[in-house]
C-alpha cells in the first residue's frame, strides 16, 4: 500500500515536471516564431515607421529644428555664460543680458561656420565629384587594361582552357561595367541632390527661421521651462518619483551630450588628420575624401569602412599603388582612432556592450537611415540605462542585491529523487 502511494506520488510529480517542460518548450518555440516573424517583416515595420517619421517631420519641422538646435547649442551657451560673460563685472548679476549675449555669440559662430562651408568647402566638393564623373571613361579604360594585362600574364601560364571554360575575364569585365555604371549613377544622384537642395533652400527658409527663433527662446527661457516641467511632474507624481525623473533626465542628457560632442570632435580631428595625410601622399580629391572619412567616422564600427572603401576604390581607378598606400593609411588612422584618440575623447561614454551598439546601429539605420545609425547608439544607451535602474529598483524592493541577482542560484534537490 505504501509503495503504491509512493508510486502515485512520483507519477504526479513526474507529470508536473513534464507539463512544466512542455510549457517551457511551447514558450520558447512561440518566442522564436515571434522573433522570426518580426525580423522577417522588419522591412515592413521600418517602412511604416519611416512614413510616420516623414509625416511628423513635415508637420512639425520648425519645432524639430528648434528643439534640436537648442539642444546642440545649449552647452556652448552655458560655456559662454559661465566662462566668458560671467567674468565681466557689470554682467555678473544681469542674467538676462548675459544669456542673450551668450546665445547671440553661439548663433554668430554657427552662421560663420555655415558661411565658410558654403563658400569654401561646397564648391570644391562639387568640383571634385564633377571631375571624377568626367574622368570615368578614362578610369574604366585603365581598369579594363589592367584586367587584360592580368589575363595575358595568367594565359602565359598555360591556363587557356580554364579561362575558356569558365569565361572568367568576360565575367570580371561585366562586373566592372556594372560597377562603374552604378557608381556613375550614384554620383549623378549626389550632384542632383546637392543642386536640388540648393535650389529648394528658399522653400525651407521659413521653417528654418521659425526653428531658429524657437531655439533662441528655448535657450533664453530654459530655466522657466524647467520649472514648469517640474510643476507638471509634481502634479502627477510623488516627490521621490520627481527626484528620480530629474536624476534620470540629467544623466540621460549628460550621456547624450557627451556622446554627440565627443563623437563630433573625434570625427573632426580624424577628418583633419586624413586631409593632412592624403595631402602628404599627393592624393587627388583629398578634401572630398577627408570629408567622407570624417563624416562616416561618426558611425561607430561600420563608419570607417563605409568611408574608407569608396575612397580606396576611387583612388584605385587612377593608380593601384596609390590606392594601396591610401588603404594602409586609412587602416592606420582607424587603429589610431580606436586605440588612442577615441578612448581619450569619448572614454566609456555610452556604457553598453559592442553587440548592443551593433544592434542599435542596424535597427536605427533600417528605420531612420544614416541619422538613425548615428543617433541609434545614444538612444539605445538611454533605454538600457532606464531598464537597469528599473530592474535595480525592483530588486531593491525585494531585498535582493545586484550581485546576488547576477550569480547563479543553487540547484534545488527534487524530493522524489531523494526518495
The region of weakest confidence among 252-256, 262-266, 407-411 is: 407-411
Percent residues over pLDDT 90 in the chain: 5
Joined together, the cell numbers standing for residue 16 give 508536473
* Mean pLDDT rounded to a whole number for the chain: 76
Contact 128, 283 (CB under 8 A): no
Percent residues over pLDDT 70 in the chain: 68
Instruction: Enter the DSSP assignment of 299.
Output: S
The listed range with the strongest mean pLDDT (114-118, 206-210, 220-224) is 220-224
The listed range with the strongest mean pLDDT (58-62, 73-77, 119-123, 372-376) is 73-77
d(CA 164, CA 265): 54
d(CA 32, CA 212): 48
For residue 379, pLDDT beyond 60: yes
d(CA 326, CA 83): 42
d(CA 287, CA 21): 63
Give the model confidence (pLDDT) of 114-140 as tens digits.
Answer: 888 888 887 887 787 778 777 777 777
d(CA 47, CA 202): 29
Give pLDDT, residue 387.
Answer: 85
Give the confidence band of 69 by pLDDT, cuts at 50, 70, 90: confident
For residue 266, pLDDT beyond 70: yes
| pTM of the full structure | 0.69
For residue 267, pLDDT beyond 80: yes
For residue 108, pLDDT beyond 90: yes
d(CA 222, CA 111): 22
For residue 384, pLDDT beyond 80: yes
d(CA 163, CA 140): 22
Helix ranges, 200-319 (H): 201-220, 222-236, 239-281, 286-296, 303-318
In terms of Cα–Cα distance, which of 419, 279, 303 is closest to 361?
303
d(CA 374, CA 298): 6
d(CA 176, CA 345): 41
Give the model confidence (pLDDT) of 393-407 as tens digits.
Answer: 887 887 777 666 666
The region of weakest confidence among 200-204, 229-233, 362-366 is: 200-204
Give pLDDT, residue 292.
Answer: 87
d(CA 124, CA 129): 9
d(CA 409, CA 210): 58
Give pLDDT, residue 83.
Answer: 84
The listed range with the strongest mean pLDDT (84-93, 183-192, 396-405) is 84-93
Give the model confidence (pLDDT) of 303-350 as tens digits.
Answer: 777 888 888 888 887 777 888 898 899 888 888 887 788 777 766 666
Query: Average of pLDDT values for 347-359?
Result: 71
User: Residue 217's CB: how many other CB atoms inside 10 A?
Assistant: 13
Contact 257, 284 (CB under 8 A): no
Q: Which residue has the higher pLDDT, 67 or 195?
A: 67
Q: Which residue has the higher pLDDT, 20 or 138?
A: 138
In terms of Cα–Cα distance, which of 102, 47, 54, 128 is closest to 291?
128
DSSP characters over 87-119? GSGGGTT-HHHHHHHHHHHHHHHHHHHHHHIII
Give pLDDT, residue 228.
Answer: 92
Give pLDDT, residue 275.
Answer: 92
d(CA 115, CA 404): 58
Give pLDDT, residue 152.
Answer: 66
Contact 76, 106 (CB under 8 A): yes
Query: Average of pLDDT values for 284-308?
Result: 84
Give pLDDT, residue 197.
Answer: 56
For residue 2, the number of C-alpha atoms closer than 13 Å in the C-beta half-sphere is 1
Give pLDDT, residue 45.
Answer: 63
What counts of helices (H) and strands (E) characterise the chain? 18, 0
For residue 4, pLDDT beyond 60: no
Amino acid at each position: 500500500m505504501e509503495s503504491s502511494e509512493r508510486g502515485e506520488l512520483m507519477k504526479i510529480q513526474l507529470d508536473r515536471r513534464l507539463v512544466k517542460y512542455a510549457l517551457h518548450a511551447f514558450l520558447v518555440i512561440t518566442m522564436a516564431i515571434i522573433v522570426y516573424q518580426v525580423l522577417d517583416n522588419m522591412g515592413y515595420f521600418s517602412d511604416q515607421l519611416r512614413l510616420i517619421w516623414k509625416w511628423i517631420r513635415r508637420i512639425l519641422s520648425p519645432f524639430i529644428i528648434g528643439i534640436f538646435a537648442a539642444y546642440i547649442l545649449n552647452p556652448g551657451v552655458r560655456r559662454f555664460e559661465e566662462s566668458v560673460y560671467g567674468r565681466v563685472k557689470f554682467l555678473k548679476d544681469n542674467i538676462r543680458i548675459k544669456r542673450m549675449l551668450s546665445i547671440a555669440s553661439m548663433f554668430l559662430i554657427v552662421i560663420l561656420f555655415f558661411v565658410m562651408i558654403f563658400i569654401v568647402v561646397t564648391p570644391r566638393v562639387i568640383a571634385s565629384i564633377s571631375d571624377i564623373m568626367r574622368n570615368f571613361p578614362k578610369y574604366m579604360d585603365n581598369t579594363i587594361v589592367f584586367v587584360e594585362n592580368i589575363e595575358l600574364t595568367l594565359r602565359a601560364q598555360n591556363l587557356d582552357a580554364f579561362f575558356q571554360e569558365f569565361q572568367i575575364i568576360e565575367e570580371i569585365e561585366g562586373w566592372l561595367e556594372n560597377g562603374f555604371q552604378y557608381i556613375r549613377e550614384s554620383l549623378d544622384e549626389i550632384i542632383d541632390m546637392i543642386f536640388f537642395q540648393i535650389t529648394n533652400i528658399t522653400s525651407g527658409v521659413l521653417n528654418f527661421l521659425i526653428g531658429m527663433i524657437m531655439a533662441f527662446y528655448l535657450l533664453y527661457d530654459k530655466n522657466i521651462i524647467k520649472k514648469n516641467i517640474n510643476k507638471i511632474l509634481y502634479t502627477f507624481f510623488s516627490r521621490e518619483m520627481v527626484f528620480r525623473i530629474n536624476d534620470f533626465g540629467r544623466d540621460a542628457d549628460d550621456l547624450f551630450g557627451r556622446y554627440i560632442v565627443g563623437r563630433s570632435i573625434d570625427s573632426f580631428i580624424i577628418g583633419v588628420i586624413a586631409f593632412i595625410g592624403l595631402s602628404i601622399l599627393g592624393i587627388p580629391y583629398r578634401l572630398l575624401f577627408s570629408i567622407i572619412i570624417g563624416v562616416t567616422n561618426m558611425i561607430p564600427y561600420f563608419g570607417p569602412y563605409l568611408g574608407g572603401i569608396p575612397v580606396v576604390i576611387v583612388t584605385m581607378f587612377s593608380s593601384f599603388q596609390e590606392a594601396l598606400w591610401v588603404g594602409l593609411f586609412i587602416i592606420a588612422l582607424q587603429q589610431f582612432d580606436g586605440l588612442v584618440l577615441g578612448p581619450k575623447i569619448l572614454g566609456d561614454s555610452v556604457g553598453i556592450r559592442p553587440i548592443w551598439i551593433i544592434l542599435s546601429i542596424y535597427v536605427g539605420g533600417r528605420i531612420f537611415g544614416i541619422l538613425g545609425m548615428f543617433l541609434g547608439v545614444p538612444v539605445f544607451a538611454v533605454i538600457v540605462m532606464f531598464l537597469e535602474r528599473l530592474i535595480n529598483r525592483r530588486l531593491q524592493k525585494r531585498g535582493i542585491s545586484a550581485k546576488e541577482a547576477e550569480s547563479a542560484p543553487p540547484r534545488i534537490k527534487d524530493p522524489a529523487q531523494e526518495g
